[in-house]
Amino acid sequence: MSESTIYAASWLINPDAPPIAGGALLVRDGRVAAVGALSELRGTHGAPVVEFPGCAIIPGFVNAHTHLELTHFPSWRLRTHVEYNPRRFVDWIIQLIKIRRGLRDEDVLASLREGVRMCLESGTTAVGEIVTNPALAPRYHASPLSGRLFFELLGHDPERFRGMQDKALAACEATNDRFVNGLSPHSPYTIGDENLARICEAASSRALPLAIHISESREETAFVFDTAGPLAEEFYPFVGWREHLMPPRHCSSTELLDRRGLLTPATLAVHCVHATVSDAETLKQRGCSIVLCPRSNERLDVGTAPLHLFKKLGIPLALGTDSLASNDSLSLWDEMRFALDLFRHDLAPAEAFRMVTSGGAAALGIGAFCGSLEPGKRADFQVVGNGGAAAEQVLERLVGEGTVQEVYAGGERYAG
């Protein structure tokens, strides 16, 4: 007979649902078997009860855009003596490449492990992770996390790109009970037009979701529109791509990707800082979701995404931390609170909470097994303090002042 446990707290809170006072969930075989008031579950299920008085049980957070491989970036920067602080987006990219070139496999593995730990300790139980090396996939599978792995694709040379894509597609075929797969065409400025067509064909024929950095910087806008600016003049020569400079496209990143058939309901548009009204309308029409990374955008000084526009059009939204190459932490609590301050006139606590729970899961296409505490889903949840006893504005208090006490992934307590 399967073992079951009831977890109870002063509150159980799901996105877009009234808080349950004295709420509880029944966990069986790593999944949520029932949700309700403790008095109800205790009366119908003969299972032991673990209580967290004065706390709230909420879903594990879903970080919709991460690069956990870069978690040790701050220490790598110091170790390699490339510790200047870039003032421009292109300077940052070049610095990142310089540092990555000097890394060993064991450096990346240690960094990835630390990223997993930092996610779990801050209440994140699922990620939309960009993976540069498909050989790393088993490392994610062995962790307590779940989510979607997007295998990164970039470059111009057809032969090298074909080899990269073949490895990514092979990795996508590997099944796992906690991670599903997808592709990540890096951005419109790092992939040749012919290769964009190859990605479209591969993704559509295999029904693979895509995650793409879109309109992150002014430099990208200038490059895509007329092949000008620092990306053309400094970045392309630095990586040896000068011969691959394209003629001016006279369009935005969104328009370019739309022409290539890469914008679909399975496309995750990351950043979208410089998306125009026309771009946003296209993303809405194509059914795309958007992941905002406001702290990364602020750190790189690339601007602020037009959240009010995305909300007005009803585009599905999620939050991501990006990486520690452009952020101070991997905590979605930090990201959510920063976003609420930055977008104080456009974002409510309940909306931000949805972006890091059910909204993030929906954007990644994993809402069937995470993002909320419902029967049949993975038992991924956080026990959070500082909720208080009053029913009025309990969610607002938790979003603003909550502190993570315990984290459970697949019904197992994360002990670090």
**CB-based burial label for 265 (10 Å; 0-12, 13-18, 19+):** exposed
pLDDT in tens, 278-288: 999 999 999 99
Q: What CATH number was assigned to the domain covering residues 4-60+372-413?
A: 2.30.40.10
Fold match between domain 4-60+372-413 and domain 61-364: no
CA atoms of 265 and 144, how far apart (whole Å): 28
DSSP string, 341-407: HHTTTT--HHHHHHHTTHHHHHHHT-TTTSSS--TTSB--EEEEE---S-STTHHHHHHHH-EEEEE
Q: Is residue 312 helix, strand or coil?
A: helix
Residue 20: what residue type?
Answer: I
pLDDT in tens, 354-400: 999 999 999 999 999 999 999 999 999 999 998 777 878 999 999 99
Backbone dihedral region for residue 61 (phi beyond 0: left; psi -120 to 50: alpha; all else: beta): beta
Structural tokens at position 344: 């104080």
CA atoms of 125 and 409, how far apart (whole Å): 6
Q: For 61-364, which CATH class?
A: alpha beta
Kindly give, in sequence order, each residue whose CB lies less than 8 Å from that of residue 345, ignoring residues fewer than 6 positions away: none
pLDDT in tens, 96-146: 999 999 899 999 999 999 999 999 999 999 999 999 999 999 999 999 999
Residue spans per domain, the chain: 4-60+372-413, 61-364
**CB-based burial label for 73 (10 Å; 0-12, 13-18, 19+):** buried
Q: Which residue has the higher pLDDT, 81 or 202?
A: 202
pTM, to two decimals: 0.97
**CB-based burial label for 257 (10 Å; 0-12, 13-18, 19+):** buried
pLDDT in tens, 298-322: 999 999 999 999 999 999 999 999 9
Give yes or no for residue 2 having a pLDDT over 70: no
A 10 A CB-CB count for 374 gives 19
Instruction: State residue 83's pLDDT score.
Output: 64
Structural tokens at position 293: 């990374």
Instruction: State residue 73's pLDDT score.
Output: 95
Beta bridge partners of 150: 130, 182
Q: Which residue has the tokens 């092949």?
A: 227
Instruction: State residue 1's pLDDT score.
Output: 42
- φ and ψ at residue 246, rounded to 5 degrees: -90, 160
Instruction: State residue 84's pLDDT score.
Output: 67
Integer CA distances (angstroms), 135 to 170, 205, 275, in order: 10, 23, 34
Backbone dihedral region for residue 301 (phi beyond 0: left; psi -120 to 50: alpha; all else: beta): left
Kindly give, in sequence order, each residue whose CB lies less than 8 Å from that of residue 108, ignoring residues fewer than 6 positions away: 69, 133, 136
pLDDT in tens, 337-355: 999 999 999 999 999 999 9
Let me know the angle formed at the C-alpha of 142 by 140 and 143, rounded to the nearest 5 degrees: 65
CA atoms of 45 and 60, how far apart (whole Å): 24
| Of 314, 224, 317, 313, the residue nearest 270 (C-alpha) | 317
A 10 A CB-CB count for 328 gives 13
Residue 341: what residue type?
Answer: D
CA atoms of 102 and 145, how far apart (whole Å): 28
- The H-or-E segment that residue 349 falls in is helix 349-355
pLDDT in tens, 50-79: 999 999 999 999 999 999 999 999 999 888
